[in-house]
Amino acid sequence: MSSALFEFVLRLGDDRLVLGHRNSEWCGHGPILEEDIALANISLDLVGQAQLFLGLAARIENQGRDADALAYWRDEYQFRNLQMVELPRGDFGFTMVRQFLFSAWSHQFLDAVAKVGRQDLAGIAAKAFKENRYHLRHSSQWVIRLGDGTDESHRRVQAALDEAWLWTGEFFYQDDADRALAAEGIAADPEAMREPFGALVGEVLRQAQLTLPAAPMRMVGGRKGRHTEHLGHMLAEMQIVARSHPGAGW
């Protein structure tokens, strides 16, 4: 049971570590100064949440690892993030659409995790929920402005949505270990969130004049360590400094 809990918390941490890193790739390349800072702020929030979740996972595992060991010394097949968050950042529209979909789902998921019986897990989720509310507000307002904007901005975010939406099936992935944890009141059941997530997304897309694609969902695999070709390259960049100088400090 404790290994199922370790996996559950690892997923929460890995999602935010990978997405935080992807957003941080905009630093210095933002469309305007204010947005450069906004994306950096969102990345810092996400990496901070990852540090807390991974730290908790390491304590649950009780093998002497810490958050840094989990972040920098695992290989890609050991990561448990959603495949959606490891996709390249694309254009600004794709980054905002991907952030919006992730934040809309996290709004439900973190709210549920913040109510579980384990205080340490619930506390981290409550803090992340508050930060996520701003990410949701920021990204949804951009999706609305870009969707209901010029011909070019509309075309770009519709294309972004056509691609990103297909990866959201993985939000609702559950295996037997998850169900066992949910029955104990420790983990949250993602199926219960499908409707409020759909309603939230639907309302923003309506204002943005965007439509959901009718294509089938991508295969899931991230929760089991099966990733796209993108994660390996990203981890190489993210982990190179730590791995080149093991044990070094600032």
Partner 1 sequence: MATDEKKDGEWPLWEVFTQPPGGKPHEHAGSVHAADAEMALQNARDVYTRRGEAVSVWVVPSAAITASAPGDAGPFFDPGNDKPYRHPQFYKTPRGVKVF
What is the contact surface with partner 1 in residues (CB under 8 A)? 32-35, 37-38, 41, 134, 137-138, 141, 145
Nearer to partner 1, 38 or 201 (CB): 38
- Tokens standing for residue 199: 């309603």
- Tokens standing for residue 231: 């994660």
Alpha-carbon span 181 to 64, nearest angstrom: 24
- Tokens standing for residue 148: 């209901």
Nearer to partner 1, 83 or 132 (CB): 132
Q: Which amino acid is at 5?
A: L
Rg (CA), the chain: 18
Buried b (16+ CB within 10 A) or exposed e, 115-133: ebebeebbebbebbbebbe
Nearer to partner 1, 112 or 208 (CB): 208
**CB neighbour class for 187 (10 Å; exposed up to 12, middle 13-18, buried from 19):** buried
Q: Closest approach of Cβ 110 to partner 1, in Å?
A: 20
Q: Which of 155, 168, 184 is nearest to 220 (CA)?
A: 168
Alpha-carbon span 26 to 35, nearest angstrom: 9
Alpha-carbon span 30 to 39, nearest angstrom: 8
Q: Closest approach of Cβ 146 to partner 1, in Å?
A: 11
Q: Closest approach of Cβ 26 to partner 1, in Å?
A: 13
Nearer to partner 1, 33 or 248 (CB): 33
Q: Closest approach of Cβ 107 to partner 1, in Å?
A: 17
Nearer to partner 1, 24 or 168 (CB): 24
Query: Taking phi first (over 0 means left), then psi (-120 to 50 degrees means alpha), and beta for anything else, what does residue 245 get?
Result: beta
Nearer to partner 1, 145 or 218 (CB): 145
Q: Closest approach of Cβ 138 to partner 1, in Å?
A: 6
Q: Closest approach of Cβ 139 to partner 1, in Å?
A: 11
Nearer to partner 1, 157 or 182 (CB): 157
Q: Closest approach of Cβ 212 to partner 1, in Å?
A: 24
Torsions phi, psi for 57 (to 5 deg): -60, -45
